[in-house]
């Protein structure tokens, strides 16, 4: 069982909205807003203890855990309180669609990080290996072939930057990014791991 999330329940302003807090849920990988719910103290405590997003239904007047009937739970990895201490932000990994309409988000046009979505797709391809998929073909070919493709696409991107138009450069850049994602996944890494290195380099020295 996962460790409970450390969070100070006493830091929350429970008085301002009659014991209820709006809770915004974001996909921890893509940062797409998935849904908004309400939490009372009991729902928040349950979320912290179980790491599964749990809310308070104002219509049914009871606690409910997202996915308790559908199985599409939200695994909470982090939780933040806003500056007024009356709104919560939950970062979660969704297991299946969040919306009852079988959409990823209750906000169908909510922006997100497409590269993170692509990384998720590539991760699934690495596990499931669906027939007919180019990504499956790359994984089956092995790490050397994937690395070779990254090298080829890197050269083509550089050449496009020198000798071709913007459309060609963008096309080659997209090919390079895709094959780089596949290479990282083939080594058991993710694009987020590379971004973490960039973030550490960018952080001011202490």
Q: Please state, for a pLDDT cut of 90, what percent of the chain lies above it.
A: 92
The pLDDT tens digits for 17-33 are 899 999 999 999 999 99
Note whether residue 99 is domain-resident: no
Residues 90 and 159 in one domain: no
Split into its structural domains, the chain has a count of 2
The band of 205, judged by pLDDT with boundaries at 50, 70 and 90, is low
Mean pLDDT, the chain, rounded, equals 94
Per DSSP, 118 falls in state H
Residue bearing tokens 């380099």: 201
- Continuous H helices in the chain: 41-50, 114-128, 134-141, 143-163, 166-186, 191-202
pLDDT on residue 202: 87
State the CB neighbour count (10 A cutoff) for residue 15.
8
The reply to whether 87 falls in a domain is: yes
Residue range 173-184, pLDDT digits in tens: 999 999 999 999
Q: Is residue 124 part of a domain?
A: yes
Residues of the domain holding 72: 9-94
Neighbours of 90 (CB within 10 A): 25
Report pLDDT digits (tens) over 93-149. 999 999 999 999 999 889 999 999 999 999 999 999 999 999 999 999 999 999 999
Single residue among 37, 60, 94 that ends a domain in this structure = 94
């Amino acid at each position: 069982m996962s460790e409970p999330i450390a969070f100070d329940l006493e830091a929350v302003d429970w008085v301002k909205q009659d014991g209820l807090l709006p809770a915004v849920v974001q996909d921890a990988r893509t940062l797409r807003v998935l849904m908004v719910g309400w939490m009372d103290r009991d729902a928040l405590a349950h979320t912290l203890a179980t790491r599964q997003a749990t809310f308070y239904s104002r219509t049914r007047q009871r606690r409910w855990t997202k996915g308790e009937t559908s199985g599409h739970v939200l695994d909470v990895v982090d939780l933040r309180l806003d500056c007024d201490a009356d709104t919560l932000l939950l970062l979660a990994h969704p297991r299946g669609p969040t919306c009852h309409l079988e959409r990823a988000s209750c906000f169908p046009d909510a922006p997100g990080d497409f590269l993170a979505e692509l990384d998720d797709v590539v991760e699934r391809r690495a596990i499931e290996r669906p027939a007919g998929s180019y990504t499956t073909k790359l994984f089956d070919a092995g790490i050397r072939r994937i690395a070779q493709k990254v090298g080829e696409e890197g050269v083509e991107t550089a050449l496009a930057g020198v000798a071709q138009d913007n459309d060609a450069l963008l096309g080659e850049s997209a090919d390079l990014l895709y094959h780089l994602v596949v290479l990282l996944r083939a080594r058991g890494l993710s694009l987020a791991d590379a971004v973490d290195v960039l973030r550490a380099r960018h952080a001011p020295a202490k």
